[in-house]
Every structure is written in structure tokens, then in C-alpha cells.
Amino acid sequence: MRRRPWAIGFVIFLGLVLSGGGYAAATNVVQAEVSSADQVAEGRKLFLANCASCHGSNGEGAIGGPSLIGVGAASVDFQVGTGRMPGQASGPQLYKKPVQFTEEQISAMAAYVASLAPGPAIPDAEYLRTTGDDIDMTHGSELFRINCAMCHNAVGAGGALTQGKFAPALGGVTEKHIYEAMVTGPQNMPVFNDANLTPEDKRDIIAYLKYVEEADSVGGYELASIGPVAEGLFVWIFGLGFIIAITVWLGAKAN
């Protein structure tokens, strides 16, 4: 049986399209809203003006900036929506700073980047709820301890990583941005895709974090929730310091 050489190439191509497309279809959240052609065009304009110098004029990446093909709308919404992008300076990790764009502009850029290739979409409001009977905070707190606390600390106070990288504190981060961070893995964070943590799991984690953030502290001032180091410093500086002041008072001559 004779085969033409191109037939093999065609079979490989077909296999790749099927498996790749199937994978993409299976792993992607359905795009939350269908973006209009206008929005994409507007987004492309903003992209060319603000992002293309690092990420390439078609989002293919360039020196200093990774490719944005397939990162999805969620990634843009997180990076630009928290002010990390456009980046200020290169370094081990980008810091949060005041947001540079309006909601509409961010949505337009997100729509443009999403139009390049399928990727994680901006999460549905359903998964950003923090109250409701179906929310299991105990489950969320357990998942947080197992998956997140080793970098972000048990109550999300943040922590250090190697070579100047760090896991930021989670207080004050919106539900949407927490979700997007989990699904896109910004900067040094790993991706927690839907096979790893289901959208419901992510919702439970967010509900736990919001509980910790909003609940009144039961034991008094929390000393930044960074654990025994703060407690030790406190007892030496203020506890013992105050008591030494008392000893000096008691030891002073009464003349």
C-alpha cells in the first residue's frame, strides 16, 4: 500500500487539531460574554499603544514580555485591573500600583487578548458569591491551607519566595481578582485550573478569605497576623519595656 508523503503530514495535522482543539474545548470556561467586534478593535488600539512594546504588536511576546496568546481575558483583567500592568520596571516580581485604565478600557483589552486564542475567561458572578447555603467555608479553609497557605500564610498575610519574589497579602483583593489569579497563575503563582480546583472549590476558598478579612478579631489587635515573630517582638519591646519602666519607678529613691 502506497502513501503519499503529505498524507502522513496531514494525519499528524489532523491529530493535532483534534487533540488540541478537544483539550481547549474541555479545559476552557465558556466565554462569559460575547465581545463585539468594536470592542475588540478598541482593545487592539489600546493594546498597540500601551502593551505592544513588550508583548509584541500581535501579542506574540517580545524582549521583556511574554506572549499573550491564549492567556485569556481573565489574565488581562487581573494584571491590568490590579495595576500590575502596564509594568513599571522589570524585576523579580511586579508590585500592585494604582490602576491605569477604566473598566471599559480593561474590558476592551481583555476582549482583544481573548480574541487571539481561547483562554480563561473573566469568572461568572455565580462563583464570586461569598454567602449562600451551598458555600462550604470549612472546605474552603481546608483547601486554602493545603494549596495556598504555604506561600500566602494561613490567613493570607503574604509570604516570601526565593530571590526577591513574594506571595502578596490577600487582604483587600476583590473576589474576581482572587478567582482570576487562581485560574491564570500570574507571575510566580501556579495555575489552579478547573480540574485541580473546581469553580465551586475556588468559590469556597474566596468565601473563607472574605470571612477572615471581614470578621472581627476575637482576641484583640492582631499584630498583623504574622504569627509568633510579631508576638515575640511585642513582648520584648512593649511588655518587658513597660515592666522595666515600672521597675525603674519602684527602684527610684524616694527623695
Interface residue list for another protein (CB under 8 A): 92, 137-138, 140-142, 145-146, 149-155, 157-164, 166-167, 208, 211-212, 217-223, 225-229, 231-236, 238-240, 242-244, 246-248, 250-253
CB closer to another protein, 29 vs 169: 169
Helix (H) / strand (E) element for 144: namely helix 137-147
Q: Distance (Å, rounded) from C-alpha 119 to C-alpha 145?
A: 27
Taking the least distance from each CB to another protein, the nearer of 5 and 98 is 98
Least spacing, CB of residue 83 vs another protein, in Å: 16
Secondary structure (H, E, C), 165-181: CEECCCCCCCHHHHHHH
Least distance from another protein to the Cβ atom of residue 189, Å: 13
Angle (CA) 235-240-241 rounded to 5° is 110
Q: How far is the CB of 221 from another protein (least distance, A)?
A: 5
166 forms beta bridges with 160
Would you call 99 helix, strand, or coil by DSSP?
A: coil
Q: In the complex, what is the shortest distance from the CB of residue 232 to another protein, in angstroms, rounded to a whole number?
A: 3
Contact 31/121 with Cβ under 8 angstroms? yes
Which cell goes with 150? 504555604
Nearer to another protein, 8 or 244 (CB): 244
Comparison of 117 and 135: residue with beta carbon closer to another protein: 135
Q: Write down the least CB distance from residue 147 to another protein, Å.
A: 8
Cβ 207 vs Cβ 131: under 8 Å: yes
Shorter beta-carbon distance to another protein: residue 72 or 156: 156
